[in-house]
Amino acid sequence: MTLLGLLLIFNYSCEDRLDIPKHGNMGSQKDFYKTDADALQAIASLYNTWGDGYYNWFYTKNLLADDIWCGGGSRGDNASMEQLNEYTFDTDHAMITDLYSDMYKIIYKANLIIDLLEPDTDQKKRAVAEARFFRAWANFELVTLFGTAPVVDHLLAPDEYRLGNSTPAEMWTFIEKDLSDAINSGALPSKTNVNDPETGIRITKEVAQAILGKAYLFQSKNTEAATILDQVIESGKYNLYQGQYDMLLHAVADGSSESMLEVQKRNDAEQIWNVGTMTFLMQGWRSDKLNTTGEALNVIAQGTYGFMNPRKTLYNAFVAMEGKNGYRLNSTMRTYQQMMEFGISIQPGASMIGHESLFMWKNRALQEDCVYDASYFQSLQYINLRVMRYAEVLLLAAEAHVQAGSSEKALRYINQIRTRAQLTPLSSVTLKDIKEEKRLELCLESVRFQDLVRWGDAETAMGEQGKEILAFSATGVEPLFTNTTYGFKAKHKLLPIPRKELDLNPNMQQNENW
């Protein structure tokens, strides 16, 4: 399996075949994990590995959900993404395989620190606590997406490489222990205040508590979830961003009061190629099919690829709650009429696949976000890659309280979200209210697919997804392509264990119905 391959790469020595003399001491695992400097280097490597997997993590989860079309330049522009969005993928799907592998890369780097670093200084203790956090974070993704992936709780010896499936119960127990150990270690700092931009660059105690609360909620441990999520909220270390709402996912809000967990980027021209990411390049509007004039010409970054376009069902959900002039709606997406007023129009004869004449606005490509405005390949933004923000914590806590049978705090938490969105506060709150609020507040932020599955709503929401692919041109929105196989089925409650894992490891079994 991929896990086996990774371990072989990292642990196998070729010195018996290549008699190359060493020039100086190149070091080894047993020599390295000794000092505070080693600890910092090791934890930096872990953070880098976590960040490197963001692109695949982000796109896989959002494409599986019901809020966006795959899009792109034409049919087949990215077949792997289309397969995810339309539910035509199989057990050898490249992005699913890479996501699985990415989680075990994180776990391997975490295990190096936990197993080899003696926590006898504050720096080393912090590194170990952070490693436990990231191991738990990766396992959370594995259990909620794949269900039966192996638990790897230490550096494996060669005779341990072919582990069998775990059970969700085993994985959840391990996640809870890692997060509890990290929280109780005393090694994770808290922000000094709500506006402290420095401490939150690394994992804080409250971020670990938030992920533990999320883990409890996903297991329906609602009282435990409510208790620990309340601690995050009552710490006073985080708050909803009070700047312009449509700038929440832009560089100006990096490390803001609402930032909980982000992959860090830097506006550093000297390190420009270390900043690069396809994340924003792919999401930006399909600029080679659009005319850009007026105000838009001065602010929008050109050279983007047109994936991840909002669906009309998402727009309708916004309108149902906020009306067509809703502040949060117009900060999240724009109609074609609004786009023309801004200075964007579709070129005569052009057609945009997977598009219903709606344009995502919250993540629009801005020139001001660029370290360098590379209009030929727009990949050099210094926007931190969002993983969790405080709004999600409030909504998780609200759900936990409602599910536990107590609505007073739930009402307070959801109304904080609604007040910022310029909506009338609710006088009572139900699980349905929270589901609707979460869809709008966190659309395209990598949470909805797992929520729909755990709520039992996925087959209803995505059962017809991929049946018909629409396209937008100057003449309107029309059907372009029809699939014969499509849509979320019962088997999709868990993603398939990648085929190559089964080919390499006879102890692994495939998930049900794959």
What's phi and psi for 18, nearest 5 deg?
-120, 100
Hey, which residues does 247 pair with through a beta bridge?
none
pLDDT band at residue 348 under the 50/70/90 scheme? very high
pLDDT reading at 1 higher than 80: no
Identify the three-state secondary structure at position 278: helix
pLDDT attached to residue 14: 37
pLDDT band at residue 29 under the 50/70/90 scheme? confident
Helix (H), strand (E) at residue 262: strand 259-263
Q: Would you list the domain boundaries of the chain? A: 189-264+389-438, 270-369
Q: Which two tokens stand for residue 347?
A: 């070129």
Q: Where are the beta strands (DSSP E) in 415-494?
A: 468-473, 476-482
pLDDT, the chain, mean: 94
Q: What gap in Å lies between CA 194 and CA 148, rounded to an integer?
A: 39
pLDDT reading at 323 higher than 50: yes
189-264+389-438: CATH, from 2.130.10.10, 1.25.40.390, 1.20.120.430, 3.40.50.300: 1.25.40.390
What percent of the chain is predicted at pLDDT more than 90? 93
pLDDT reading at 9 higher than 50: no
Residue pair 72/81 in contact (Cβ under 8 Å)? The answer is yes
pLDDT attached to residue 117: 97
Identify the three-state secondary structure at position 163: coil
Q: What gap in Å lies between CA 184 and CA 176, rounded to an integer?
A: 12
pLDDT band at residue 335 under the 50/70/90 scheme? very high
pLDDT attached to residue 273: 79
Q: What gap in Å lies between CA 361 and CA 329, rounded to an integer?
A: 9
> How do residues 222-278 score in pLDDT, each as one tens digit?
999 999 999 999 999 999 999 999 999 999 999 999 999 999 999 999 888 788 999
pLDDT attached to residue 28: 74
What's phi and psi for 35, nearest 5 deg?
-110, 170
Q: What average pLDDT score do residues 334-345 get?
A: 98
Q: What average pLDDT score do residues 22-43 get?
A: 81
pLDDT attached to residue 169: 98
pLDDT attached to residue 105: 98
**Which residues, 6 or more positions from 190, have their beta carbon under 8 angstroms from its beta carbon?**
199, 204, 205, 206, 235, 237
pLDDT reading at 165 higher than 70: yes
How far CA 406 is from CA of 22, 226, 274, 396, 400, in Å, comes to 66, 10, 47, 14, 9
Q: What gap in Å lies between CA 78 and CA 225, rounded to an integer?
A: 39
pLDDT band at residue 496 under the 50/70/90 scheme? very high
Q: What average pLDDT score do residues 158-181 get?
A: 98
Q: What's the predicted TM-score (pTM) here? A: 0.94
How far CA 124 is from CA of 116, 120, 131, 161, 296, in Å, comes to 11, 7, 10, 28, 49
Q: Where are the beta strands (DSSP E) in 20-113?
A: 68-71
Q: What gap in Å lies between CA 354 and CA 2, rounded to an integer?
A: 33
> How do residues 122-150 score in pLDDT, each as one tens digit?
999 999 999 999 999 999 999 999 999 99
pLDDT reading at 324 higher than 50: yes
pLDDT attached to residue 27: 60
Handedness of CA 35, 40, 46, 49 (dihedral sign): negative
Hey, which residues does 352 pair with through a beta bridge?
472
Q: What gap in Å lies between CA 508 and CA 169, rounded to an integer?
A: 17
pLDDT band at residue 487 under the 50/70/90 scheme? very high
Residue pair 7/154 in contact (Cβ under 8 Å)? The answer is no
pLDDT attached to residue 492: 98
pLDDT attached to residue 23: 47
